[in-house]
Amino acid sequence: MAHALVSPTAAAHTTGRDIGRTLESARGRVEERFLEGGTVLLSVMDVLNRLLNSLESVTAALDNGESSDTGADLRATVESLTALPATEENRQQALVSLAQTGRELRKYVSDMQETMRYLRTFAVTVKITGAGLPEFAGFAQEILERIYSGTDEVNRFATHLDSLDKEVKLAASFGASVSKGYADTVPAVAAALRDDAAKIAEHRKHLGGVAREVGAIARGVQSKVASTLSALQIGDITRQRIEHVQATLSLLEEFFAGEDGSKLDAGARKRLQNVIHHLTAAQMSDMCANFQRDSQNVVTTIASFDHDMREILKLRDQMSGATGEAGGNFMRALESSVSAAHEIVQQVDTASRQADQVSQSTSGTAAKLSESIANIRAVKTDIHYMALNTNLRCSRLGEEGRSINVVTAELRIFAGKLDESADAIVSGLPALEAAAGRVAPATDVGAGGLGESLTSAVGNIRSAANMMDNELKVLAENGREVATKISLLIGKLDFQRDLGEVLTRCAELLESAAGTEVADISDLTEVIASLDHNIFKHYTMVQERSIHRDIIPACEDSTPAPAETVKAENDEDLFADALF
């Protein structure tokens, strides 16, 4: 471009060379700067997409926390803990009831033991009284053996009740201690766990709100970046228009070196050069005005990124802080509460095992008592019929059997009393079994189940917290990268700092070369028709064609400008039309 201008003087030649160098420098800077800016914008768009993906992962982690509902698990465990004092109180009442029922049965057992002592006395009397009667000797020994058998059965019955009584007393003693411990510790522990569950919900709600804010700002920046990428077409347009000015000056040089240009004298050449200088100056001036306006909009939009990114980083820090030191304290507080709850749960398990053992023992005892009662009734029946047979025999013996008859009648009477005690015991056994059922652990969570629920709930909470921490770390890294890219972008796309100055200097050089007056070349219309046509066909914008025709009117055989397109419906159509 050093020879883009042809001038009859060295000064004019130097001016043309300066304009060529300045235009080429401006074109190179525009191309480099906008290419670099577009690359940075695309990288910003990429990291913004990663930031939004991170936010989606955070949201997914929150949704996963909601679906697993770890807070609900913890609250359910708290409800079970809260119910422990009432449960233990009911168990204590059931143990008292069971002990009372056992004492009532023990009274009837004592009656049977007393009855069996009387029966043994009468059996021995029968044996002594019938010693002289051979036919009663074997009978007396048999009835005595049956009475001894019944006595053993009654004593076993009493042993079962004694064993049950000891178990009930032990369970009641331990339960009383546990019940007092529940009253002292359960309300505070349950309140702490309930508070922790509320913190989980609040923590999740806070993170969700901040994530939505970050997402809204990030999507806003994403939209701005997209619009900025579109607006960067001003760089391509500016580059094209600089190339068109360069082409115009080159075409002028070629024209002067060609056949048509050689026909012109020095004056005509000077006038044509003046008009071309005015044309290129007008094109550059219009281009500078458009560049200043559109690039200023780009710079303003990019400058707004800085505020957006500060907001994103501030919110990012809030989210990180929510699971950082505060989150750590929260987990430590939760684990402390759970540790205290586990101590209570161990007591629950011990009390439950004892209560379950008492319940099972009572059920087994009730079954054994039922069996013993049946055996005792069988002994009573045998004694009754033996005594009856003895009465019949004594009646046949007359005076000799009278004394034995009296004793065996007493045997029958006292054997009947066994039935009375047995009936009372049989009636009391359902109450014993019912009391044993109430002693059994009255909770849906079995032994160790409450502890497992606590461990599971805390494990789920810790897992969700760890997953959230990991996602927030990724979010923080992406947020930091976005901020770095935005800062770089602001530095790279400060078009006004030097590009605007370079373009303005180009326009000023062309205006200086053109002067104030536009020369009259109406007499050269036919000669410069080819030059006019070649310059005109380079244009890609309506503005360029309009400026050209304002300075160089179309000759009659010039190719008409393309017809205007149908009015665009939106801004994108308008922008597209401006290129053609």
Phi, psi dihedrals of residue 442, rounded to the nearest 5°:
-95, 65
| Both tokens assigned to 226 | 């997209």
| 347 has a pLDDT exceeding 80 | no
Sign of the torsion angle spanned by Cα atoms 147, 150, 152, 155: negative
pLDDT score at 148: 86
Lowest-confidence segment of 131-135, 405-409, 541-545 by average pLDDT: 131-135
- Per the CB < 8 A criterion, the answer to whether 157 and 426 are in contact is no
Binned at pLDDT 50, 70 and 90, residue 544 comes out as very high
Q: What is the reported pLDDT for 49?
A: 80
Instruction: Encode pLDDT of 523-543 as tens digits.
Output: 888 899 999 999 999 999 899
Q: Which amino acid is at 213?
A: E
Report whether pLDDT(136) > 70. Answer: no
Mean pLDDT in residue range 452-458: 71
Residue 571 burial (10 A CB sphere; 0-12, 13-18, 19+): exposed
Which residues, 6+ apart, have CB-to-CB distance to 551 below 8 Å? 275, 278, 279, 282, 518
Is 192:340 a contact under the CB 8 Å cutoff?
yes
* pLDDT tier at 574, thresholds 50, 70, 90: very low
What is the mean pLDDT of the segment spanning 146-152? 84
Q: Would the pLDDT of 8 be above 60?
A: no
Lowest mean pLDDT among 61-65, 126-130, 232-236: 61-65
Separation CA 350–CA 84 (nearest Å): 13
C-beta contacts of 420-424 below 8 A and 24+ residues apart: 420/111, 421/108, 421/109, 421/111, 421/112, 421/115, 422/112, 422/373, 422/376, 422/377, 422/380, 424/108
Q: What is the pLDDT of residue 91?
A: 76
Residue of 517 and 569 predicted with greater confidence: 517
Nearest to 377 by CA among 44, 78, 150: 150
- Pick the closest to residue 217 from 37, 481, 482, 469 (CA basis): 482
pLDDT at 348: 67
| Residue 568 in this model has a pLDDT that exceeds 50 | no
User: In this predicted structure, what is the pLDDT of residue 177?
Assistant: 67
Give the pLDDT confidence of 333-346 residue by residue, as tens digits: 666 777 777 776 77
Quote the CA–CA distance of 218 and 485 in Å, as a whole number: 14
The predicted-structure confidence for 156-174, as pLDDT tens digits, reads as follows 888 888 887 887 887 777 6
Q: What is the pLDDT of residues 55-70, one digit of tens each?
A: 777 777 666 555 445 5
Residue 400, both tokens: 């000799």
CA distances from 463 to 62, 70, 299, 502 (A): 12, 10, 45, 59
pLDDT tens-digit map of 354-374: 767 776 777 777 777 777 777
Q: Mean of the per-residue pLDDT values for the chain? A: 74
**Tell me: the pLDDT tens digits for 101-123?**
888 888 888 888 888 888 788 77
Nearest partner of 84 among 450, 372, 524, 548, judged by Cα: 450
State pLDDT tens for residues 259-286.
888 888 999 999 999 999 999 999 989 9
pLDDT of residue 444: 46
pLDDT above 60 (res 325): no
Per-residue pLDDT for 10 more than 70?
no
Predicted local distance difference test score (pLDDT) of residue 279 = 93
Q: What is the pLDDT of residue 564?
A: 41
- Average pLDDT in the 33-51 region? 77
The DSSP 8-state label assigned to residue 524 in this structure reads G
